Structure 1
Amino acid sequence: MSTLRPFVYDAGALIAAERDQVAFWRTHRSYLTAGGLPLVPAPVVSQAWRDGARQSQLARLLHGCRVPPLDHALAVSVGELLGKARTSDPVDGTVALIAARLGANVFTSDPDDIQHLVDHLGPAGKRVKVTPLR
């Protein structure tokens, strides 16, 4: 029996959903059908959400996802990662750290930024697969 690799979406994935990009929705639906539940870290939702009345596709996507919170311990770990990587985007840092902890596949419009961060996570970072959105 195979285990599904966790999916983590960054803001680029949420934008792809909102723009109704067929390839993204196909991948998302296939994952749900296989029994997966994608993760969208809470800071990613904050980065993409603007007006629920106008973001019906985004709301639909989030309905089928789990949104883990950014608690104190995770926030501290993200800050430490940003320091090691000499970057400053806490949203990308949260995505990279959650993905590394789970050995996840990250769907991102910023593959170089995410890869830079996971490269600073040692062995845990090697478990992350960074998938660029087209």
Structure 2
Amino acid sequence: MNAIVYDSGALIAAEKNDRPFVAQHETFLSARVRPLVPAGVLAQVWNARPSSAVLHRVLRGCEVLALTEDRAKAAAELCHRAGSRDVVDASIVLAAIEHLDAPILTDDLGDIGELVEVSGHTRIKVARP
């Protein structure tokens, strides 16, 4: 595994200074696993307050993926096929696909799992942070 995709649940765990998640994140970095954060996920959880220092530290170790025109169109298409309207969730699944079926850390196992299934990339592992 060379990458892992974080959904908002993972970043919320960071903001709450969830020690098991922070330790898991540090383990990923030590193993040279790149944590990926789609830009829409960052927009959902960003908090500039100093009380979010752990979130800021975790994000420094992540690569934020831009929502390009091509990714936006692909997310809309995946949503259409799944009967979903959550383009951020779709962008998470697409990030995993783009990075060799990277695993996804999310609290939204149902919606993300359904999008993974519809995508046809059923090897993608979906787990809680």
How far apart in 1 are the matches of 2:122 and 2:60? 30
How many residue pairs are counted as aligned between the two chains? 128
How far apart in 2 are the matches of 1:44 and 1:131? 16
- 2:122 alignment counterpart: 126
1:74-131 CA-to-partner distances (Å, cap 9, x unmatched) read: 0000000000000111111100111122211100010111000010111xx2231101
- Please provide the CA RMSD for this pair: 1.1
TM-score, normalised with respect to structure 1: 0.90
- Indicate whether 1:100 and 2:97 are aligned: yes
- Does the Cα contact within 8 Å between 1:52 and 1:59 map onto a contact in 2? no
Q: CA deviation at 1:37?
A: 1.8
How far apart in 2 are the matches of 1:80 and 1:35? 32
Q: For structure 1, list consecutive stretches of 5 or more residues without a partner in the other structure.
A: none
How far apart in 2 are the matches of 1:76 and 1:131? 26
How far apart in 1 are the matches of 2:2 and 2:125? 9
- Does the Cα contact within 8 Å between 2:2 and 2:34 map onto a contact in 1? no
Cα distance change on mapping 1:82 and 1:114 into 2, 3 Å? same
- Indicate whether 1:36 and 2:33 are aligned: yes
SS of residue matched to 1:8: strand
Instruction: List, as ranges, runs of 4+ consecutive aligned residues in structure 1 with deviation greater than 2 Å.
Output: 50-54
Higher strand share: 2
Residue pairs, 1:70-81, within 5 angstroms: 70-81=67-78
SS of residue matched to 1:126: coil
Q: CA deviation at 1:5?
A: 4.0
